[in-house]
Structure 1
Amino acid sequence: MGYRDRLISTSILRAIFRTKPSQDDTEANEEARPGLLTRILAFFTFFNLTLARYRAGLFKKMRNETWGIEEEEYVESFRSPSKNKRTDLVAVGDLGYSGSTFFTTPNSKYLIKSLPRKFEQSFFRQRLLDPYVEHMELNQNSLLVRITDLLYCQTYTMGTAIGTAPSHHMIMENILYGKSSCSKNQQKQWETYDLKPNDYFYPERDVAGGRLAPESVKERLIDEFDDKVRVTIDQKEELVSQLSQDSKILQENNAVDYSLFLVRYPADLNSSDSDKIPTPPGRGSSWRNGVVSRDGKWVYRAIILDFFWAKDALQAQTLTGLVKFFNFVKWGKDHGPMSITTTSEEYRQRFLGMVEDMVEVPDSAGRPSGELRSPPPHLG
């Protein structure tokens, strides 16, 4: 871990161990704003920011009551398993075009993602958080990623201004939990796919001949799953029905550009009870814990990620103008629509259509088929 990552890790851990969330959660009982001297000193901080837990009681209630995550076990996930070893998060690196950095807890149960873009932070806090909490309470099998904490910097700092350290961090379940318990050769057999409807136009990848980002980042923008997810009819209906409910709450709050994060690993890694791959923490559900393919070859996991881009965000509108300009001066008018500027209803339809096409079930004669016995109420 580099110097910058170590200081960011220290900031995150300090916030987790220092703050004791209560069940009484209101905006009024957030931590008191720092004093003037503290704010002045904090202004000159570049890496080691002082972070606090946003609406700590609300997130604790979700962890304990909605998802069945025991609080002591949750906090201990952030400690080193060895008392003689310094506690540090595990740096995963830069995994996306947004510039987010990622860590995992020492036991790999939780993933910490930085949110460097202000419009994503604001959208989640101000518009999506309360509907998200209500949806999770009413749909305990929801496949929206479980966000267990939100950390934020209460003061303005030079570090956040120039981008040396992110002001917000989101802690969430790690759907890859269990991979680190495998041998190195077995870990190489795990496959991950960050899937979005491929018939959209992605300006980060394509604008100006694709020169907005290096190839190493563009390759991670959109994955392609060139196989089929082969499960039973009931398993497909369960998946599509749940994703339909989850995407409905996103549509109602004008969210677009989210993705299906699909994980698969060979089923023979679960060859015995002693070798069984552990499942993500908290109350389980089939597609979160793992569904075995019809042929017994693969185990699949799936959740929805990255639902923090509002269709009506200023950044989306700015990119719309940018793409229109490039269409006019270079390409003609045959590129679009963009995933980030389409309507939330249309994005949801294409997202669910992508899942329908990807999951293969047998028909009544036992032959593979991509169709359900009856189509789900996508827009219900």
Structure 2
Amino acid sequence: MGYRDRLISTSILRAIFWTKPSQDDPEARPGILARILNFFSFFNLTLARYRAALFRKIRNETWGIEEEEYAESFRSPSKNKRTDLVAVGDLGYSGSTFFTTPNSKYLIKSLPRQFEQSFFRKRLLDPYVEHMELNQDSLLVRITDLLYCRTYTIGAITGAAPSHHMVMENILYGKSSCSKHHQQQWETYDLKPNDYFYPERDVAGGMLAPESVKERLIDEFNDKVRVTIDQKEELISQLSRDSKILQESNAVDYSLFLVRYPADLVSSDSDKIPTPPGRGSSWRNGVVSRDGRWVYRAIILDFFWAKDALQAQTLTGLVKLFNFVKWGKDHGPMSITTTSDEYRQRFLGMVENMVEVPDSAGRPSGEVRSPTPQRFGEV
């Protein structure tokens, strides 16, 4: 871990372990002297837990995460070893940086874009909590803490260090318990409807982004998720309920994070690969494919972009101008500039087409019956 990451890690851990109950008020501000001293912080920012009591309630009561177990996830398993988070690096197009807790149960994601964390705090948090309380099998990623810097700092202003961090479940929990060879067999897909216009991907000549950025802009799953009819109905109905509250909050550009690993890893590495923390659900813990080959996990990620945010409105205008000047025709909306109801329909349609179930005759849905029987060995 580099010097910058270590200081950011220290800031996060200090907020987790040292936040006082009096700091639970988001409107509270440190004294003048503290604000002056904090202003000159560059990497090691003074963070606090945003609405700590609320997040503790949904951790304990809604998701069944014990507080002592949660806190221990942030400590080193060895008493003789310095406690540090594990830096994962830059995993997203947004420029977010990631850490995991030492036991890999939780993922800490930075929120470098102010409009994203503002949207979550001011508009989505309360509907999110209410939805989670009423839908304990929700596949929206479980956000267990939100850390924020309560004062202006040079580090946050210059972008040297993030002022907000989100702690969430790690849907890949259990991967690290496998051997290194078997870890390489885990596959992850960050899936969005790919029929939208993506300037970074679709503009010829690489004018807007290099190939390294385009490669991680949007994933493609060139296979089918083969499960039973009941399992598909459970997935689609739950995603429909989850995406409904995102639509009502005018959120777009969220993605389905799909994980799969070979089912035989369960017997080859251990009796049971551990599941993500808290109260379980089938698609969160793992659904075995019909042929017994794969285990699938799925959640919804990155629901922090509001359609009516200034950034989305600005990009909508730029895309329209770009289409007019460059080609003189409409190349369609971007995923971040479309309407929330249209995005939801395309998102659910993507999942519907991706999941394959057998029809009443036992064939995979979409399979065409052969007009004449084939003899053994005939191609």
How far the C-alpha of 1:22 sits from its partner, in A, is: 9.1
Paired with 2:257 and 2:49, the residues of 1 have a C-alpha distance of 26
Contact 1:259 1:305 in 2 (8 A): yes
Q: What are the ranges of 5 or more consecutive residues in structure 1 without an aligned counterpart?
A: 26-30
Task: Name which of structure 1's ranges 165-174 and 90-99 shifts more when overlaid on structure 2.
Answer: 90-99
Change in 2 beyond 3 A, CA 1:237/1:378: farther
Deviations 1:11-52 (A, max 9, x none): 000000102559998xxxxx8411111111111111000000
Task: Name which of structure 1's ranges 347-356 and 336-345 shifts more when overlaid on structure 2.
Answer: 336-345
How far the C-alpha of 1:276 sits from its partner, in A, is: 1.3
Contact 1:356 1:370 in 2 (8 A): no
**RMSD value, Cα:** 5.6
How far the C-alpha of 1:205 sits from its partner, in A, is: 3.4
Contact 1:357 1:370 in 2 (8 A): no
Contact 1:356 1:371 in 2 (8 A): no
Change in 2 beyond 3 A, CA 1:378/1:126: farther
Paired with 1:371 and 1:145, the residues of 2 have a C-alpha distance of 34
Contact 1:23 1:61 in 2 (8 A): no
Change in 2 beyond 3 A, CA 1:314/1:377: farther
Paired with 2:121 and 2:276, the residues of 1 have a C-alpha distance of 25
SS at match of 2:21: coil
Contact 2:262 2:293 in 1 (8 A): yes
Q: Does 1:379 align with 2:379?
A: no
Q: What are the ranges of 5 or more consecutive residues in structure 2 without an aligned counterpart?
A: none
The 4+ residue runs of structure 1 with deviation greater than 6 A are: 22-25, 371-380
Paired with 2:22 and 2:133, the residues of 1 have a C-alpha distance of 18
Paired with 1:11 and 1:90, the residues of 2 have a C-alpha distance of 14
Contact 1:262 1:301 in 2 (8 A): yes
Paired with 2:238 and 2:331, the residues of 1 have a C-alpha distance of 32
Change in 2 beyond 3 A, CA 1:24/1:52: closer
Deviations 1:259-295 (A, max 9, x none): 0000000000112794311000000000000000000
**Paired positions, count:** 375
Change in 2 beyond 3 A, CA 1:92/1:171: same
Change in 2 beyond 3 A, CA 1:319/1:379: farther
Task: Compute the TM-score of the two structures, normalised by the length of structure 2.
Answer: 0.93
SS at match of 2:240: helix
Q: Give the one of 48, 53, 72 matched to 1:57.
A: 53
How far the C-alpha of 1:345 sits from its partner, in A, is: 0.5
Paired with 1:377 and 1:245, the residues of 2 have a C-alpha distance of 45
Contact 1:233 1:372 in 2 (8 A): no
Task: Name which of structure 1's ranges 370-379 and 318-327 shifts more when overlaid on structure 2.
Answer: 370-379
How far the C-alpha of 1:374 sits from its partner, in A, is: 25
Change in 2 beyond 3 A, CA 1:317/1:121: same
How far the C-alpha of 1:204 sits from its partner, in A, is: 3.9
Paired with 2:101 and 2:233, the residues of 1 have a C-alpha distance of 34
Paired with 1:203 and 1:67, the residues of 2 have a C-alpha distance of 39
Change in 2 beyond 3 A, CA 1:165/1:312: same
Change in 2 beyond 3 A, CA 1:185/1:319: same
Change in 2 beyond 3 A, CA 1:285/1:44: same
SS at match of 1:227: coil
How far the C-alpha of 1:177 sits from its partner, in A, is: 0.2
Contact 1:111 1:172 in 2 (8 A): yes
Task: Name which of structure 1's ranges 265-274 and 248-257 shifts more when overlaid on structure 2.
Answer: 265-274
Contact 2:191 2:220 in 1 (8 A): yes
Q: Give the one of 119, 131, 145 matched to 1:135.
A: 131
Change in 2 beyond 3 A, CA 1:53/1:24: closer
Change in 2 beyond 3 A, CA 1:267/1:20: farther
SS at match of 2:22: coil
Q: Does 1:326 align with 2:353?
A: no
How far the C-alpha of 1:211 sits from its partner, in A, is: 3.2
How far the C-alpha of 1:212 sits from its partner, in A, is: 3.0
Paired with 2:14 and 2:257, the residues of 1 have a C-alpha distance of 30
SS at match of 1:300: strand
SS at match of 1:91: strand
How far the C-alpha of 1:323 sits from its partner, in A, is: 1.4
Task: Name which of structure 1's ranges 139-148 and 213-222 shifts more when overlaid on structure 2.
Answer: 213-222
Residue of structure 2 in register with 1:180 after alignment:
176
Q: Does 1:296 align with 2:277?
A: no
Contact 1:69 1:281 in 2 (8 A): yes
How far the C-alpha of 1:372 sits from its partner, in A, is: 16
Change in 2 beyond 3 A, CA 1:377/1:73: farther
Change in 2 beyond 3 A, CA 1:155/1:208: farther
Task: Name which of structure 1's ranges 173-182 and 324-333 shifts more when overlaid on structure 2.
Answer: 324-333
Paired with 2:75 and 2:350, the residues of 1 have a C-alpha distance of 40
Contact 1:358 1:370 in 2 (8 A): no
Paired with 1:157 and 1:206, the residues of 2 have a C-alpha distance of 38
Contact 1:200 1:338 in 2 (8 A): yes
How far the C-alpha of 1:239 sits from its partner, in A, is: 0.2
Residue of structure 2 in register with 1:335 after alignment:
331
SS at match of 2:329: coil
Task: Name which of structure 1's ranges 370-379 and 252-261 shifts more when overlaid on structure 2.
Answer: 370-379
Change in 2 beyond 3 A, CA 1:101/1:24: closer
Task: Name which of structure 1's ranges 326-335 and 368-377 shifts more when overlaid on structure 2.
Answer: 368-377
Change in 2 beyond 3 A, CA 1:162/1:24: closer
Paired with 2:374 and 2:132, the residues of 1 have a C-alpha distance of 20
Task: Compute the TM-score of the two structures, normalised by the length of structure 1.
Answer: 0.93
Contact 1:21 1:60 in 2 (8 A): no
Contact 1:352 1:378 in 2 (8 A): no
Contact 1:191 1:265 in 2 (8 A): yes
Contact 2:23 2:48 in 1 (8 A): no
Contact 1:360 1:371 in 2 (8 A): no
SS at match of 1:369: coil
How far the C-alpha of 1:215 sits from its partner, in A, is: 2.1
